[in-house]
């Protein structure tokens, strides 16, 4: 039985990745930042094959803990960077865990002997830190694919800037280490939506669905979405988990970063679908998913199907 280590495997996306690997009969080791807060990971023990599940404390800023976590893993999925929009201290809440954590992780895997494949769960911010607003020089209807040069802006949200920098660090690591004994692939999902596997109330993804469903704008970012009726590219959380499994178990994907995206709808139409009503406009595909379909074989669910699974 192969062992996969999933950093952040109890979060919104991570829980689905954990479920997928358990269903495929892997031994799964999941990291949590605080082992004493069982309410954040106890839902994982309700999953099929949870006898093969192990929970281990880990903060990615701690190098020795990272080394210990990955040392006996055949596959490693890194989905452990924080996704927060409302932050009081961007440096400690976002930048350090994402940038320093990625730096430590790359250093730790440099000495790993048993890893066969490593998958980073990156972000659409790797391509556009303005998301869901257009990148500089583009309009809302201009498309993106993996051939784009990543766009970043110093005024973008700290979360997006941190993810952009982390992605660049991974790219540099791959270029500087051409003789790696394992493959590295990255996945860059757009806005991830769907039903949560846990009852946690601190998920930004499920929180955003709640706000859009109920037309609530607690901050300037959300208000701008409503005011501009921003087109939002959406991907189903289950499709992200499927792509993670496929990227981790397929060979020949070294150095690639895949955009994970289904359809794009304006916020007003996402509101309609979250309330079980029909959208007023047709879907577009702004962030293209052809490469993920071709290389990984992912068949992305329609956004309407995704939003129908959400419940409060």
Residue 279 within any structural domain of the chain: no
Residue 29 within any structural domain of the chain: yes
pTM score of the predicted model: 0.94
Q: How far apart are CA 158 and CA 89, in angstroms?
A: 10
Residue 214 within any structural domain of the chain: no
- 148 token code pair: 């784009």
What is the domain range of residue 122?
3-193+234-261+287-298
pLDDT in tens, 30-48: 999 889 989 899 999 999 9
Give the count of domains, the chain.
1
Q: Which regions of the chain are under pLDDT 70?
A: 81-87, 89-93, 201-202, 311-312
Residue 184 within any structural domain of the chain: yes
Residue 86 within any structural domain of the chain: yes
pLDDT for res 241: 98
pLDDT in tens, 137-163: 899 999 999 999 999 988 888 888 889
CB 134 within 8 A of CB 233: no
* Inter-residue long-range contacts of 135-138, CB under 8 Å, 24+ positions, other chains counted: none
Cis peptide before 132 (omega within 30 of 0): yes
pLDDT for res 310: 82
pLDDT for res 177: 94
Residue 206 within any structural domain of the chain: no
Residue 119 within any structural domain of the chain: yes
pLDDT for res 221: 84
Q: How far apart are CA 307 and CA 282, in angstroms?
A: 15
Residue carrying structure tokens 């499927």: 242
CATH label of the domain that carries residue 9: 3.40.50.720
């Amino acid at each position: 039985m192969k062992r996969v280590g999933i950093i952040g495997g109890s979060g919104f996306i991570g829980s689905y990745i954990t479920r997928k690997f358990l269903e495929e009969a892997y031994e799964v080791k999941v990291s949590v930042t605080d082992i004493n807060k069982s309410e954040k990971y106890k839902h994982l023990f309700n999953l099929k094959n949870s006898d093969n599940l192990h929970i281990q404390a880990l903060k990615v800023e701690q190098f020795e803990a990272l080394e210990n976590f990955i040392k006996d893993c055949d596959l490693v999925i890194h989905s452990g960077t924080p996704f927060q929009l409302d932050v009081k201290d961007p440096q400690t809440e976002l930048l350090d865990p994402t940038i320093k954590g990625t730096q430590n992780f790359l250093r730790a895997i440099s000495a790993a002997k048993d890893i066969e494949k490593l998958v980073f769960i990156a972000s659409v911010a790797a391509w556009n830190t303005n998301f869901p607003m257009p990148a500089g020089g583009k309009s809302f209807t201009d498309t993106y694919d993996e051939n784009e040069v990543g766009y970043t802006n110093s005024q973008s949200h700290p979360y997006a800037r941190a993810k952009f920098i982390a992605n660049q660090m991974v790219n540099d690591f791959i270029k500087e280490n051409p003789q790696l004994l394992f493959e590295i692939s990255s996945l860059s999902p757009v806005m991830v939506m769907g039903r949560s596997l846990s009852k946690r109330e601190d998920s930004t993804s499920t929180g955003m669905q709640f706000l859009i469903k109920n037309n609530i704008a607690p901050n300037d970012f959300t208000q701008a979405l409503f005011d501009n009726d921003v087109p939002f590219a959406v991907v189903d959380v289950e499709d992200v988990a499927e792509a993670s499994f496929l990227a981790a178990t397929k060979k020949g994907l070294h150095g690639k970063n895949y955009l994970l995206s289904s359809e794009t709808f304006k916020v007003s139409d996402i509101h309609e679908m979250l309330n079980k009503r029909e959208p007023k406009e047709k879907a577009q595909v702004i962030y293209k998913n052809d490469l993920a379909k071709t290389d990984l074989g992912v068949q992305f669910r329609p956004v309407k199907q995704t939003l129908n699974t959400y419940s409060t």
